[in-house]
Amino acid sequence: MGKTTTGNFVVQFRLIAEPFQIDVLNKRMEIGRKIYNSIITIVGKQYREMIKTNQYRNIKAELKDSLPKK
C-alpha cells in the first residue's frame, strides 16, 4: 500500500517589532543555532564510536537473524 500524501500549506505574517526586539531575537536564534550544532557534533561522535564496538555489531547481527525473512 502506498503512502498517502496531503497538502501542506504555510502562512507567513510580517513581524512588526522594534529594533531592540529584532536584536534580541537574532541573538537568541544564534544561540539556538550554536546549541543545535554542538548537539549534532556530540551525538555524531557518539554514534560513530558506538558503531565501532563489538557489542553493537553483535546485537545488530542478532536482530537481523531474528527478523522474519521476506
Burial label for 6, CB within 10 Å (0-12, 13-18, 19+), is exposed
pLDDT at 2 over 70: no
Domain membership of residue 4 (yes or no) is: no
Domain membership of residue 12 (yes or no) is: no
Give the closest residue to 41 by CA, choosing from 49, 52, 29, 30. 49
Confidence class of residue 1 from pLDDT cuts 50, 70 and 90? low
In which domain, by residue range, is 27 found?
Answer: 19-66
If one counts the domains in the chain, the total is: 1
Task: Kindly provide the residue ranges of all beta strands, DSSP E only, lying in 1-70, ordered along the sequence.
Answer: none
Domain membership of residue 5 (yes or no) is: no
Give 69's DSSP letter: P
Domain membership of residue 1 (yes or no) is: no
What is the CA 20 to chain-centroid distance, rounded?
31
| Residue-level pLDDT at 26 | 97
Domain membership of residue 28 (yes or no) is: yes
Q: Give the model confidence (pLDDT) of 14-44 as tens digits.
A: 999 999 999 999 999 999 999 999 999 999 9
Determine if the pTM surpasses 0.85: no
Domain membership of residue 35 (yes or no) is: yes
**Rg of the chain on CA atoms, in Å:** 23
